Structure 1
């Protein structure tokens, strides 16, 4: 079980939004204790999103929900299915399929997740898309690029601050209205569902 903590469910539909250089954050939505901010990404038509929420549950419980790769579709925005492909040391690989509204072809994504633990007990998982890790699936467009991270920070024995930041190049053709909607809905709905499940007694 200790090794399993590295296997986090990392995709909250990363088919629409590479990161690290995003700046000039603008708050796009604040509700239910969740703040979603957006930033333009140099060289990209798609914005980077960042969602932050404090969950009234210990970090170990939040982590447990994220370790369940297949069960995590209960809280990942528009997730159809997800599975763990491989786990090796501090790295894991996951494959996820996503629902998309008509007429957009459904997306799928393969991620490499590198996990680290801070001296303060925090957990960070860097997310990197590896689209050629698996052959393409019929009926899906493979997400071309993903870069981002999850960070879980303990805030006392019964609270965890969660930050989720991602930029994605979705591949294929995506209408601008859908892209703009996604970069707000994906982090917000993912964190809202994760918070609700983690706070259940």
Structure 2
């Protein structure tokens, strides 16, 4: 079982460095720009699956966004194809979340254990690094474990009651996934997730 406790200073330093390096290395191409959400895709060396990045500026507060994300079970309502989600560990700024993900027939549903480490920067922005932990617990019957997941959420206050939200992920879904499903997922996942989050975050 992965240990979630770690030095906050080391987490922040390593996390911000990994986010900066990852963003610099990937060649992002705009794939969709609708409803206030931009989706970018990038090839990842050594993988047949593309990374995705969704970006949206929302008329809301940082506190509202954090509250929506902290409701781990409730966030399934706005996360793309999320069937079930729960927090299974938390210590300080690091925790582990278990998620079950719907897939169209006949593809077997996926599940994942994701370590989530929260970092708070001096400018008020919040970054949550996401790292898949496929061996955190034994595989569940009826699900294929996502073999690799890396990414982050980032909330950046922009002033005038606005927050920029960035959602970036690259996964290796495990098992066999048809190309049509993989190609649609990398666009639909960030787009639908941010559209639904935007609706909730901007509710008066």
Q: What TM-score, normalized by structure 2, do the two folds share?
A: 0.88
Show CA shifts across 1:147-185 (max 9, x none).
000000111152110000000000000000110000000
**1:146 match: secondary structure:** strand
- State the distance in 1 between where 2:187 and 2:36 align: 15
What is the distance in 1 between the residues matched to 2:172 and 2:125? 28
Runs of 5+ unmatched residues, structure 1: 1-18
- Aligned partner of 1:121 in structure 2 is 124
1:90 to 93, 99, 103: 93
Task: Classify the secondary structure of the residue corresponding to 2:66.
Answer: helix
TM-score, with length taken from structure 1:
0.89
Cα deviation digits, residues 29-88 of structure 1 (max 9, x gap)? 000110000000000000000000001001110111000000001100000010000111
- Give the alignment's Cα RMSD to 1 decimal: 1.1
1:148 paired residue number: 151
4+ residue runs over 4 A deviation: none
Cα distance in 1 between the residues matched to 2:118 and 2:62 = 15
Higher relative contact order (CA 8 A, sep 6+): 1
Moved more, 53-62 or 22-31: 22-31
Tell me the distance in 1 between the aligned counterparts of 2:63 and 2:118. 15
Report what 1:20 is aligned to.
Answer: 22
Is 1:130 aligned to residue 126 of structure 2? no
Q: Which runs of 5+ in 2 are unaligned?
A: 1-20
Q: Which residue of 2 aligns with 1:108?
A: 111
Q: Which of 172, 184, 193 is the aligned partner of 1:169?
A: 172
Aligned to 1:190: 193
- Aligned twin of 1:47: 50
Cα distance in 1 for partners of 2:90, 2:140 equals 22
Report which of the two has the higher share of helix: 2
